[in-house]
């Protein structure tokens, strides 16, 4: 029972960290959504702006739950440490994409970061799967959304 409580606490902490990173990314995004971003040529499949915040909120929660499950196995274990290092690196790149794309209005460098981010997400999923399959599966919606974001980012670079 004690391990379960620890895991629940770790999930809560990981979700909180992910949501804080998401909120910070949101600040960078908000600075340009109604100004610079609205002036860009976008592909026909670009979703409405209001969809991004709820989707990202759900994704950050899923990511946090996944990281918390992995962390629940004990940080002392080398596979857990490795998986969480990859998770942390991809989370930092996730935030830097928002800063580059929206904050600094640099879609091409943001696309490069996004490609590296995709590789890190795949590596994180692989490492999470070694520790816990459910944690790896919880990362798949995030992977799919980032692939979609990459396609959008690419099309925006192409159209502008």
Q: Residue 30 has what pLDDT?
A: 85
SS3 22: helix
Nearest to 137 by CA among 128, 148, 147: 128
Q: How far is CA 78 from CA 81, 83, 118, in A?
A: 5, 9, 23
As to burial, measured by CB atoms within 10 angstroms (0-12 exposed, 13-18 middle, 19+ buried), residue 10 is buried
Closest CA to 146 of 80, 101, 84, 105: 101
Residue pLDDT tens, the chain, 160 long:
677 888 899 999 999 999 999 999 988 888 888 899 999 999 999 999 899 999 999 999 999 999 999 999 988 889 999 999 999 999 999 999 999 999 999 999 999 999 999 999 999 999 999 999 999 999 999 999 999 999 999 999 999 9
**What was the pLDDT predicted at 31?**
81
Contact of 128 with 139, CB cutoff 8 Å: yes
Paired tokens of 120: 């890190």
Burial letters 46-72, b for 16+ CB under 10 A, else e: eeeeeeeeeebeebbbbbbbbbbbbbb
Residue 5: its pLDDT value, please? 87
Check: CB of residue 138 under 8 Å from CB of residue 62: yes
Closest CA to 31 of 93, 92, 112, 105: 105
Inter-residue contact 10 to 135 (CB < 8 Å):
no
The H or E element spanning position 32 is helix 2-33
Per-residue pLDDT at 1: 61
* Lookup result for tokens 């979703």: 47
What does pTM read for this prediction? Answer: 0.94
């Amino acid at each position: 029972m004690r391990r379960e409580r620890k895991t629940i606490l770790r999930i809560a902490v990981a979700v909180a960290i992910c949501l804080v990173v998401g909120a910070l990314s949101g600040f960078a995004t908000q600075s340009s959504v109604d100004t610079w971003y609205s002036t860009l040529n976008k592909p026909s499949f670009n979703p409405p702006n209001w969809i991004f915040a709820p989707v990202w909120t759900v994704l950050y929660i899923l990511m946090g739950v996944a990281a918390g499950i992995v962390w629940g196995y004990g940080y002392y274990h080398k596979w857990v440490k490795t998986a969480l290092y990859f998770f942390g690196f991809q989370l930092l790149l996730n935030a830097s994409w928002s800063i580059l794309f929206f904050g600094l209005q640099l879609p091409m460098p943001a696309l490069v970061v996004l490609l590296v981010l995709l590789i890190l997400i795949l590596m994180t999923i692989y490492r999470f799967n070694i520790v816990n399959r459910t944690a790896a599966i919880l990362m798949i919606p995030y992977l799919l959304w980032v692939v979609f974001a990459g396609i959008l980012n690419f099309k925006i670079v192409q159209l502008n």
